């Protein structure tokens, strides 16, 4: 399918979409901003910003507590977002959506609550070689504490998981598999449905790190049969500091609380405290209600465009960028999996990514340079760092052309 056909099918009016994002109209160092750091965080449309402001202007009160009008309104608002998320990832029930600060906290919740209950000495947790640090370190902490072993499924030179090796690691000692849906450093889309089926065949539950998948793919947790699925608002046009953990109700019911405090109890005496029911058992303390209001606006924004159309548009950009940059002299792409989403990582011969980042920044182009919180991935490819361009719904081919020109400028400076 040619790129123009994809554009036609997608039928996205990108200029109209760009108009929804105030920050995209800023000048950076005398240039129009070219924002290609979306895997780090996406920009926010006016609707999200307005929803956060509107929450504080019209609805602010503490949730699940007061009997007064505003508290009721705030609670209703809060729960509406939970329901919107339930539909967005197709969870069976709203109480399977736990609000957390972000993907990282969601993973830590599972490691500390499910993990500390179910993982013991000699047991194993299986991850992959392409995980973000946030899906490595919580398991290392757990394994260290319990005397358990962390097993790592390898990737090939294209940055694809070697699924056969992953399957071999699963065994009677495996208590959990924790795998990323989409790699933040490489863009690889993992065959998580198949990987979950492999684990389930041996009775092993699976946590999916969905941080990079949720903005780009239609996620259906029941179709995947994921046991846990963690994701963040800020990668999908929503605010920072808020995220969700989906968990199957039966698993969450059996798990002890992650944090103690208000809202997570049904009764407290100094002798005995009983836990609240789901989802509140896992939501101690006053949450980020303004953020939750903004997140609902982000979900509505994505639904308004259509996740499939967003994905088609980003796929077109990724193909165009892969062609354009792949053909640039000296550029070596890192991560060339057959199935990828939105991320183009690369290195240049003889120029360090940090120098590239500074030179691009001088042209108003924002990319990420560094190890992307995935140092084991960098080691796997024997590089200290990469330059990463990552795309969102508001990016254009013209911006990829600007990136290519920026890379040529790097060549001139270092000529």
Partner 1 sequence: MPELRDLYQEVILEHSKAPRNYKEPVHTNHRAEGYNPLCGDRFTVYLEMDGEVVKDIGFQGAGCAISKASASMMTQTVKGKTKAEAQKIFQLFHDLVTGHGHASEAELGKLAVFSGVSEFPVRVKCATLAWHTLEAALDGKQDKVSTE
Residues 6+ apart with CB under 8 A from 304: none
CB of 265 to partner 1, least distance (A): 39
CB of 331 to partner 1, least distance (A): 17
Nearer to partner 1 (CB atom), residue 57 or residue 350: 350
User: What distance in Å separates the CA atoms of residue 389 and residue 233, rounded to the nearest whole number?
Assistant: 20
Residues forming beta bridges with residue 32, ordered by sequence position: 27
CB of 244 to partner 1, least distance (A): 30
351 contacts partner 1 (rule: CB under 8 A): yes
Nearer to partner 1 (CB atom), residue 26 or residue 168: 26
370 contacts partner 1 (rule: CB under 8 A): yes
Residue 403, classed as helix, strand or coil, is helix
384 contacts partner 1 (rule: CB under 8 A): yes
206 contacts partner 1 (rule: CB under 8 A): no
Task: State which of residues 155, 185, 385, 392 lies at the interface with partner 1 (CB under 8 A).
Answer: 385
User: What distance in Å separates the CA atoms of residue 260 and residue 257, rounded to the nearest whole number?
Assistant: 7
358 contacts partner 1 (rule: CB under 8 A): yes
User: What distance in Å separates the CA atoms of residue 394 and residue 370, rounded to the nearest whole number?
Assistant: 24
Residue 381, classed as helix, strand or coil, is coil
Task: State which of residues 378, 389, 402, 407 lies at the interface with partner 1 (CB under 8 A).
Answer: 378
User: What distance in Å separates the CA atoms of residue 184 and residue 372, rounded to the nearest whole number?
Assistant: 7
Indicate which residue of 218, 373, 383, 404 is catalytic: 373
373 counts as catalytic = yes
Q: Which of residues 50-89 bind partner 1 (CB under 8 A)?
A: none
Question: How many residues sit close enough to partner 1 to count as binding (CB under 8 A)?
Answer: 19
Task: State which of residues 355, 396, 401, 404 lies at the interface with partner 1 (CB under 8 A).
Answer: 355
Residues forming beta bridges with residue 126, ordered by sequence position: 151, 177
User: What distance in Å separates the CA atoms of residue 281 and residue 2, rounded to the nearest whole number?
Assistant: 50
CB of 361 to partner 1, least distance (A): 9
CB of 375 to partner 1, least distance (A): 8
User: Is the distance from CB of 285 to CB of 227 less than 8 angstroms?
Assistant: no
User: What distance in Å separates the CA atoms of residue 299 and residue 52, rounded to the nearest whole number?
Assistant: 14
Query: Would you call 266 exposed, middle or buried from its count of C-beta atoms within 10 A (0-12, 13-18, 19+)?
Result: exposed
353 contacts partner 1 (rule: CB under 8 A): yes
364 contacts partner 1 (rule: CB under 8 A): no
CB of 359 to partner 1, least distance (A): 6
User: What distance in Å separates the CA atoms of residue 343 and residue 322, rounded to the nearest whole number?
Assistant: 10
Residues forming beta bridges with residue 188, ordered by sequence position: 340
334 contacts partner 1 (rule: CB under 8 A): no
Q: What DSSP state is assigned to residue 30?
A: T
C-alpha distances out from residue 360 to 28, 187, 357, 402, Å: 11, 21, 5, 9
CB of 26 to partner 1, least distance (A): 15
Nearer to partner 1 (CB atom), residue 33 or residue 162: 33
Nearer to partner 1 (CB atom), residue 29 or residue 68: 29
Nearer to partner 1 (CB atom), residue 140 or residue 273: 140
362 contacts partner 1 (rule: CB under 8 A): yes
Report residue 256 as tokens.
Answer: 């002890």
User: Is the distance from CB of 163 to CB of 138 less than 8 angstroms?
Assistant: no
30 contacts partner 1 (rule: CB under 8 A): yes
Nearer to partner 1 (CB atom), residue 211 or residue 387: 387
Q: Which one, of 409, 404, 413, 268, lies nearest residue 327 by Cα? A: 404
CB of 37 to partner 1, least distance (A): 14
Residue 378, classed as helix, strand or coil, is helix
* Segment near partner 1 (CB under 8 A); pick from 191-199, 259-267, 286-294, 354-362: 354-362
Report residue 199 as tokens.
Answer: 């684990």
Nearer to partner 1 (CB atom), residue 17 or residue 130: 130
Report residue 331 as tokens.
Answer: 């550029």
Residues forming the site for partner 1 (CB under 8 A): 29-30, 350-355, 358-359, 362, 369-371, 378, 384-385, 413-414
Catalytic residues: 373
């Amino acid at each position: 399918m040619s790129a123009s056909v994809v554009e036609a099918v997608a039928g996205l009016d990108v200029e109209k979409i760009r108009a929804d994002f105030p920050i995209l109209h800023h000048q950076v160092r005398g240039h129009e901003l070219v924002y290609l750091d979306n895997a780090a965080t996406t920009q926010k449309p006016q609707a999200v910003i307005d929803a956060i402001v509107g929450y504080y202007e019209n609805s602010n009160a503490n949730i699940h507590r007061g009997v007064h009008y505003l508290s009721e309104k705030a609670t209703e608002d809060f729960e509406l977002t939970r329901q919107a998320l339930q539909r967005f990832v197709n969870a069976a029930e709203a109480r399977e959506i736990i609000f957390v600060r972000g993907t990282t906290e969601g993973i830590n919740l599972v490691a500390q609550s499910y993990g500390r209950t179910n993982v013991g000495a000699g047991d194993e947790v299986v991850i992959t070689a392409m995980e973000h640090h946030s899906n490595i370190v919580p398991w290392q902490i757990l394994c260290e504490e319990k005397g358990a072993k962390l097993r790592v499924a390898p990737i090939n030179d294209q940055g694809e998981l070697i699924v056969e090796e992953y399957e071999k690691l699963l065994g009677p000692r495996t208590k959990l598999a924790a795998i990323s849906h989409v790699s933040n450093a490489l863009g690889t889309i993992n065959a998580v449905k198949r990987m979950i089926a492999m684990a389930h065949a041996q009775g092993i539950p699976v946590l999916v790190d969905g941080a990079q998948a949720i903005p780009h793919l239609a996620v259906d947790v029941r179709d995947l049969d994921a046991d846990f699925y963690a994701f963040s608002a800020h990668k999908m046009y929503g605010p920072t500091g808020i995220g969700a953990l989906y968990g199957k109700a039966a698993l969450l019911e059996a798990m002890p609380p992650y944090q103690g405090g208000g809202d997570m109890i049904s009764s407290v005496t100094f002798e005995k405290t009983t836990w609240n029911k789901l989802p509140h058992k896992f939501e101690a303390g006053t949450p980020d209600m303004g953020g939750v209001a903004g997140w609902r606006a982000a979900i509505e924004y994505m639904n308004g465009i259509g996740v499939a159309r967003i994905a088609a548009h980003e796929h077109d950009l990724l193909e165009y960028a892969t062609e354009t940059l792949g053909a640039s002299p000296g550029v070596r792409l890192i991560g060339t999996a057959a199935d990828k989403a939105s991320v183009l990582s690369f290195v240049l011969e003889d120029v360090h990514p940090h120098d590239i980042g500074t030179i691009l920044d001088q042209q108003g182009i924002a990319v990420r340079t560094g190890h992307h919180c995935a140092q084991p991935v960098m080691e796997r490819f024997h590089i200290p760092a990469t330059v990463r361009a990552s795309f969102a719904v508001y990016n254009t081919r013209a911006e990829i052309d600007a990136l290519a020109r920026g890379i040529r400028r790097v060549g001139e400076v270092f000529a």
